[in-house]
Amino acid sequence: MAAVNETPAAVPPAAPPRAKRPGVLERFAEWTSERSNPIVVRYARQQLRSRGFIILFSTVLGFATLFAITVGATAAERSEGDAALTLFGLLAAIWAFAVWVFEPIAAFRATANERDEKTWDLVRLTGLSPGRLIWGMFLASVLQGLLYGAAIAPFLVMAYLLRGISLDEILFVLFLIPVAGWCASAGAIFLGSVSSTKGARNALGVLVAIVAGFIWFSTLTVWLNFDFTGHFVLSGLIDGPGVVLLSNFAVIWIGAMLVLGGTVLRHPASNRSTAPRLYAWLVFLNGVVWSLFVGDPFISEALTVAAFFGALAAFLLGIFAITEDYTITPRQYRETRHMRPWQLPIIFAPGAARGRAAYLALVAAIAAVVAVAYALDDGGGRLREPMVFTILICAHGTLLITICDAIARKTQRLDNPVMRRVLFVSVFASLAFIGSVITSLAGDRDPIAALTPIPGMWIIADRPGRFEEQLLLIVIAGGAAALILLIQAIRGTTVLERTVATKKAPEPVATREPATEPAE
């Protein structure tokens, strides 16, 4: 690219002074920056200048210093261990505020600002994948959390040196606070990606602030009474396999939020089906793997829990997959053609037909796991309630989504994926509300209330013997709906034809002047 003022250099430029060889740290920083997600690099640069971040970082550091000085000065007057627990609780509370409240709000704002049409269009054009963008946002948030952690860390060491608090407790809190913060940030990033409408973004922003603030405020008791909570309430998690389970839940949650966020941001003509469908299966299979490998001697219980979470994942999968269009875009078709057989395009490729297949396959797998759990059950009946609940989620979900989808496809105004989902969610919520009203008026013995979603599920799962007929009716109706979905799944997927081939393409316009003619 030539410069505007293209004048030949009359004098050869002087040789530049020999540049000083960069040091190891500089080279490492350059190497890292070169390989980093562009979003992380930009976010880090922005944050270093952000007044909000600088003020909060200084505040965290200032309060930590103040707490340390105050507690240290009064340590001699307190009983042994009391000073350490007090200091630790205060430090945890302020750190939790930074990573549970400020960090998710900052992550939400950053994502929502990125989603603003004026900047989002420009980012989309670069070819930076939505997945990388969302991942970059998350990494930036993690980095920010680590910076707050770094500010607090020396004071936590001081609390440990004051004695009275175990290393396990410190390590657990060092794990819990940032991980919970990352989970909150991942949720905030997803919410930030949901809508490009300013009103919706503002409303979601308020929601994030309220929820984050509420969670922090409600856990203040935990931190400010750490002598009690640390030793009793959290001790099960600290000593047992709690950390591993929590880690698993955190990874599943963060993954779900990032996959959904990335999917929302993808181009409407691209494949937005495979990732969330695959993730729903992963959630289910994750539970099954846990059950088989670490569930012993409670494999049937663990399998039931896995089936329950799988049913929730299938429910969400059904809402998105079944309501897709039967017609896919040429871009989706091309991506489908590139899928290998082991990638199971029959259930993971886009389109309503394959969406139905994906949903039915997951429901079938859940049913199989419930059957195995039932067979392995020692007959105590403890598992009856969650098993029935799981079956009812699948049956209600299948029945309602089939009916709502059919109605939406026959109504011109509702015949698009978004409106099909809106209709289903509205009908489901309305029926659940009606069920709650009936239950509150007629009591939980009313057979009609037992037929409704959510309250009905609780009623039947609580006493399946009393509501055998209703249970059977819902399962048969769900089975019939599944059969309809199966028939619809066999229907072929068509590819959208964009160009009107019968019309002649436009003639190119004549050039007024040769492109190479020099400027006036």
Partner 1 sequence: MSLVEITHLSRRFGNVQAVDDVSFSFDAGQVFGFIGPNGAGKTTTMRILAGLDEPSSGDCRIAGLSTIDDADTVARRIGYMPDDFGTYPNTTVFEYLDFFARAYGLKGAKRDNALADVIDFCQLGGLSEKLVTTLSKGMRQRLGLGRTLVHDPEVLILDEPSAGLDPRARVEFRELIRLLARQGKAVLISSHILADLQEICDAVAIIELGRVVATGTVKDIKRDVQARVVERARAEGSRAVVELRIAQPVERFPNILAEQAEVSEVEIHDTIASLSCPADPEAQAALLARLIAAGLPVCHFATRDHNLEDLFMHLTEGKVQ
> Six-digit token pair at 303?
């399998």
The residue among 120 and 175 lying less far from partner 1, judged by its C-beta, is 120
Q: How far apart are the first and last CA of the chain?
A: 19
Q: Which residues of the chain form contacts with partner 1 (CB under 8 A)? A: 1-4, 34, 38, 41-42, 45-47, 49-50, 113, 116-128, 267-270, 329-331, 334, 498-500, 503, 505-513, 515-519
The residue among 340 and 504 lying less far from partner 1, judged by its C-beta, is 504
Q: How far is the CB of 41 from partner 1 (least distance, A)?
A: 6
The residue among 140 and 302 lying less far from partner 1, judged by its C-beta, is 140
Q: How far is the CB of 319 from partner 1 (least distance, A)?
A: 23
Q: How far is the CB of 70 from partner 1 (least distance, A)?
A: 34
The residue among 163 and 267 lying less far from partner 1, judged by its C-beta, is 267
Q: How far is the CB of 431 from partner 1 (least distance, A)?
A: 30
How far is residue 139's CA from residue 37's CA, in Å, rounded to a whole number? 9
Q: At what angle do helices 417-442 and 455-462 cross, to 10 degrees?
A: 50
The residue among 275 and 302 lying less far from partner 1, judged by its C-beta, is 275
DSSP assignment letter at 82:
H
Using left for φ > 0, alpha for ψ between -120 and 50, and beta otherwise, residue 351 falls in left
The residue among 21 and 341 lying less far from partner 1, judged by its C-beta, is 21
> Six-digit token pair at 31?
């190497």
Q: How far is the CB of 5 from partner 1 (least distance, A)?
A: 9
C-alpha distances in Å from residue 311, one per residue of 101, 243, 340, 341: 31, 25, 27, 26
The residue among 24 and 500 lying less far from partner 1, judged by its C-beta, is 500
**CA neighbor of 280 nearest in space, from 213, 210, 363, 351:** 363
In 236-380, the DSSP E strands lie at 327-328
Q: How far is the CB of 51 from partner 1 (least distance, A)?
A: 8
Neighbours of 77 (CB within 10 A): 8
Q: How far is the CB of 501 from partner 1 (least distance, A)?
A: 10
**CA neighbor of 344 nearest in space, from 271, 277, 444:** 277
How far is residue 119's CA from residue 123's CA, in Å, rounded to a whole number? 6
The residue among 268 and 297 lying less far from partner 1, judged by its C-beta, is 268
Task: Give SS3 for 265.
Answer: helix
Q: How far is the CB of 191 from partner 1 (least distance, A)?
A: 20
| Cβ contact 368:374 at 8 Å | no
Rounded to 5 degrees, what angle do the CA atoms 494, 364, 421 make?
Answer: 50
How far is residue 111's CA from residue 440's CA, in Å, rounded to a whole number? 42
